[in-house]
Structure 1
Amino acid sequence: MKVDVTTLAAANAGTVELSDAIFGLSPRPDLIQRMIRYQLAKRRAGTHFSQDRSLVNVTGKKVYRQKGTGGARHGDRSAPQYRGGGKAFGPKPRDHAIELPKKVRALALRHALSAKLKAGEVVVLDKAEAADGKTSALRAQFAKLDWNNVLIIDGAELEVGFVRAARNLPNIDVLPVQGINVYDIIRRRKLVLTKAAIAALEERFAGAESKQ
């Protein structure tokens, strides 16, 4: 399918052909959801930790005598029911990552790209360059293009001036093509792909068949 190419000056720069194997799938929300869950689980630090009764620093002296008080029998104050005692069954450091086959992850990315194109939220940009590296100038260009919540994917190498100008703009993400991922695609309203990014994606998914 053919898609119009625009420039940062909001001028037409011709058209580009998008591969149906990457952008022409019938989107499957279940695959996209599985991939987002995989990404969010993998990014969790898993460093949560609480002290159990063997780790808290309290006296080990018995609270009061075992019998004859008319109350419950207790040992030391490290028990969970006491203030300052250890936590019962508290969290310990662990890895939250889940398994997801590599082929499923690749397929989920293609479905996310197809979902964005089907929703009319894909824009093809000629080049992502800002010679002066000024945020104010780039903000004005984005306002003219109505880009206020976008993910911009460029080629393998990002243009330094463009990154410098865009990094102070809220809700604007700029990534190289090797960093493209389902979560960032879905969380932003529009997906902006440069021609270099499209060429890299087609090379990455060369030979991919249109599978749903």
Structure 2
Amino acid sequence: MKVEVKTLAAKDAGALDLDDAVFGIGEVRADLLQRVVKWQLARRQAGTHKAKERNEIARTGKKYGRQKGGGGARHGNRRAPIFVGGGKAHGPRVRSHAHDLPKKVRTLALKHALSSKAGSESLIIVDEAVLKDAKTKAARDAFAKLKLSNALIIDGDTVNENFAKAASNIPHIDVLPAQGLNVYDVLRHDQLVLTKAAVEKIHERFAAKETA
């Protein structure tokens, strides 16, 4: 598929061919996207929630009261969960929430995420994302010309330092190198902006996986 290329000033800069196998999938599978988003969020979850169990409570284990005649049940440990201040029964423990997901599923989901942006006309290709000075006003003016309000901007191997600094002060705008492209960030932004270098890296990435 052929798409128009724009400059940061929203002027025409030619056209570019996109791989239909990556950007032209007709029927986007929401189930794949959901699985990968769930996998990403599970991996970033800290899992540091913790409650003390009865063996971690600093209370006496000495039997209190008489065995009989007390008018109640017979207890021998104040650390038991039934007492106020006792240990938590089956409480949360420190653990990892990460789970496995086949690499083929992750690769296919990224293709579907990119195709969803292309199919909804939310994909914009620019020739380069470079600013002479790290001025937020210059970045804001460029985004206004491109009609960007909530966008993920992907560059090549590296991101222009001035452009990244200028964009960092603008809400709902994220800038990542091509290596950082992921399903969750693509879907949570209304628009996806790719530079020519980013498109080249994406094509190389999927071509290498198919060869492997």
Taking structure 2 as the reference length, the TM-score comes to 0.93
What secondary structure does 2:54 align onto?
A: coil
CA distance in structure 1 between the aligned counterparts of 2:45 and 2:65, rounded to whole angstroms: 44
Residues 21, 208 of structure 1: 8 Å contact kept:
no
Partner residue, 1:2: 2
Post-superposition, which runs of at least 4 consecutive aligned residues in structure 1 deviate over 4 A? none
CA distance in structure 1 between the aligned counterparts of 2:53 and 2:181, rounded to whole angstroms: 42
Are 1:82 and 2:83 matched, yes or no?
A: yes
Instruction: Tell me the C-alpha RMSD between the 2 structures.
Output: 1.5
Count how many residue pairs are aligned between Structure 1 and Structure 2: 209
Give the superposition deviation at 1:155.
0.2
Deviation per CA, 1:48-85, whole angstroms, max 9, x where unpaired?
Answer: 22110000112333343332121232222211122221
Residues 49, 91 of structure 1: 8 Å contact kept:
yes
Are 1:128 and 2:133 matched, yes or no?
A: no
Give the superposition deviation at 1:40.
1.0
CA distance in structure 1 between the aligned counterparts of 2:64 and 2:139, rounded to whole angstroms: 68
CA distance in structure 2 between the aligned counterparts of 1:60 and 1:190, rounded to whole angstroms: 62
Matches within 5 A, 1:48-127: 48-127=49-128
Deviation per CA, 1:189-212, whole angstroms, max 9, x where unpaired?
Answer: 101111100011111112778xxx
2:170 is aligned with what amino acid? L
What secondary structure does 1:38 align onto?
A: helix
What secondary structure does 1:205 align onto?
A: helix
Greater mean alpha carbon deviation, residues 43-52 or residues 153-162: 43-52
Partner residue, 1:143: 144
CA distance in structure 2 between the aligned counterparts of 1:20 and 1:59, rounded to whole angstroms: 70
CA distance in structure 1 between the aligned counterparts of 2:182 and 2:98, rounded to whole angstroms: 16
5+ residue gaps, structure 1, are none
What secondary structure does 2:207 align onto?
A: coil
Give the superposition deviation at 1:144.
2.7
CA distance in structure 1 between the aligned counterparts of 2:141 and 2:64, rounded to whole angstroms: 70
CA distance in structure 1 between the aligned counterparts of 2:76 and 2:161, rounded to whole angstroms: 64
1:136 is aligned with what amino acid? K
CA distance in structure 2 between the aligned counterparts of 1:45 and 1:30, rounded to whole angstroms: 25
Deviation per CA, 1:95-131, whole angstroms, max 9, x where unpaired?
Answer: 2111111111111111110111111111111111111
What secondary structure does 1:73 align onto?
A: coil
Partner residue, 1:11: 11
Identity of aligned residues (%): 56
CA distance in structure 2 between the aligned counterparts of 1:67 and 1:39, rounded to whole angstroms: 57
Give the superposition deviation at 1:8.
1.3
